[in-house]
């Protein structure tokens, strides 16, 4: 009798846990799931799904022969209204700076900087406690460790204590779905093992151990290369830009530059985790990842629903009816300021396109997630076309090319056209290249 009583209790628990009250013998799906409503992401605009003719609508006047016209379809997504600004990117830099410092304080076993479990033991791996205030006045050890974050005395200019930007390295992770999706990477349920191999970031072919083999780890210096303003232009005096552009408050709303493709990709991963960590603390579901746009997504957004437009504003000319230039570029030989700015300008200084997106032409060119190949239009799919290649350190330079779009303040009007494509190397930074993020839309719209 006791045995039957125990079995009865177990069955009751199972029925209760499975929502027995809603059981009716029909296929009704899992009950009790929250209805999903996706609010508009802050600072982003909706770009609807659609088909368009990707590529030039007119003759290839530059004879670049790196593109063709192809009808493609892209899914709906959210896109940043403007390019990522200096102040927005600075939030990323400050996060990296503060997390490195807090990690150092936690490693020094200073109480309060690593979270602990119910037994008072730190988690493994350690979890930073962001609520703990850093006050060096009452703790000499904190002051000593903070000193390590500054340039050493012999490198200080007029004795000023400044953060050593060489130490601001962001370590990040991502899942390599391309490798995970290969037939050779499948999990064998009979042997309960993976039988294939995977390439790590060093280009080494190693056996697949478990799911962790597809989780890639990398580290990148997050601080922008401010010396690009001098390096990019020989015999031009751009020292004031190099010294002031990124950190001075007057440039807060200008697009960040001097950021490589790898840095822009790392920023996107940080932005994803930054939001998802907050959502998890609120008990909410995760959102889709922030990322750099596909080349096709970028062109679709730039066209603003105007399929055969040469420029994002829809016309054939770079001036409006009043004769004023309507983008920030290089209008004539040496006459940079005729459009209102010598260098890059504040974001949203010119009129948006039909989707409400600013500076899709001019100001700064923008990184995309796509690798560059002159013939990629030929072999890429016509549905969300993509060509990506994760270049390894020893790969030749030609394999490290990434597509940039939109033209910049230093470019002639040809590069402002919605179909014009160019490239730069993923580990290089320029004073005329920035970026903006996109986020896939969850659902159909």
User: Global pTM?
Assistant: 0.91
Phi, psi (deg, nearest 5) at residue 280? -65, -40
Contact between 366 and 358 under an 8 Å Cβ cutoff? The reply is: no
5-14, 150-159, 176-185, range with the lowest pLDDT: 5-14
Strands (E), 372-427: 401-405, 421-425
pLDDT digits (tens, 9 = 90+) for 282-316: 877 777 799 999 999 999 999 999 988 899 998 88
Domain topology for 1-81+292-445: 3.90.1580
Measure the CA–CA gap between 422 and 334, rounded to whole angstroms: 22
Beta carbons of 174 and 273 less than 8 angstroms apart: no
Domain with CATH 3.90.1580.10 in the chain: 1-81+292-445
Give the confidence band of 150 by pLDDT, cuts at 50, 70, 90: very high
Averaged over 356-371, what is the pLDDT?
97
Cis status, amide bond into 28, omega within 30 of 0? no
Burial environment of residue 49 by CB neighbours within 10 A (0 to 12, 13 to 18, 19 or more): middle
- CA torsion 129-134-140-145 (nearest 10°) is 70
Write the pLDDT tens digit of every residue in 202-214.
788 899 999 999 9
Per DSSP, 372 falls in state: P
What is the DSSP secondary-structure string of 124-145? Answer: SS--B-TTS---GGG-HHHHHH
């Amino acid at each position: 009798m006791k045995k039957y009583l125990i079995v009865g209790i177990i069955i009751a628990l199972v029925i209760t846990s499975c929502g027995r009250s809603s059981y009716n013998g029909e296929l009704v799906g899992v009950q009790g799931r929250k209805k999903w409503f996706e609010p508009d992401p802050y600072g982003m605009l909706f770009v609807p799904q659609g088909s368009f003719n990707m590529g030039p609508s007119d003759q290839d006047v530059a004879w670049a022969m790196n593109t063709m016209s192809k009808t493609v379809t892209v899914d709906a997504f959210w896109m940043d209204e403007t390019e990522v600004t200096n102040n927005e990117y600075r939030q990323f830099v400050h996060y990296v700076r503060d997390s490195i410092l807090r990690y150092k304080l936690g490693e020094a076993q200073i109480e309060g900087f690593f979270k602990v479990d119910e037994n008072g033991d730190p988690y493994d791996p350690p979890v930073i406690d962001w609520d703990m205030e850093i006050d060096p006045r009452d703790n000499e050890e904190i002051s000593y460790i903070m000193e390590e974050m500054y340039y050493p005395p012999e490198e200080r200019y007029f004795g000023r204590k400044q953060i050593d930007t060489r130490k601001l390295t962001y370590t990040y992770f991502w899942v390599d779905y391309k490798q995970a999706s290969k037939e050779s990477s499948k999990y064998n349920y009979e042997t309960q093992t993976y039988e294939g191999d995977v390439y790590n970031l060093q280009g080494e072919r190693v056996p697949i151990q478990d799911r962790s083999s597809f989780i890639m780890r990398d580290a990148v210096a997050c601080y922008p290369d401010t010396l690009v303003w001098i390096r990019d232009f020989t015999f031009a005096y751009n020292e004031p830009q190099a010294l002031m552009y990124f950190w001075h408050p007057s440039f807060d709303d200008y697009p960040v530059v001097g950021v490589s493709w790898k840095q822009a990709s790392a920023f996107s991963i940080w932005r994803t985790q930054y939001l998802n960590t907050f959502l998890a603390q609120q008990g909410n579901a995760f959102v889709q990842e922030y990322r750099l746009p596909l080349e096709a997504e970028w062109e679709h957004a730039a066209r603003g629903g105007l399929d055969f437009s040469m420029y994002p504003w829809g016309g054939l000319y770079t001036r409006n009816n009043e004769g004023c230039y309507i983008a920030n570029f290089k209008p004539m030989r040496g006459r940079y300021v005729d459009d209102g700015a010598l260098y890059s300008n504040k974001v949203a200084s010119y009129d948006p396109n039909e989707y409400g997106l600013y500076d899709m032409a001019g100001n700064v060119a923008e990184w995309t997630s796509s690798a560059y190949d002159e013939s990629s239009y030929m072999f890429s799919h016509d549905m969300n076309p993509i060509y990506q290649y994760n270049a390894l350190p020893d790969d030749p330079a030609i394999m490290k090319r990434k597509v940039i779009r939109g033209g910049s303040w230093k470019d002639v009007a040809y590069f402002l056209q919605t179909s014009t494509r160019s490239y730069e190397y993923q580990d290089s930074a320029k004073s005329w290249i920035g970026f903006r993020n996109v986020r896939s839309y969850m659902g159909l719209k």
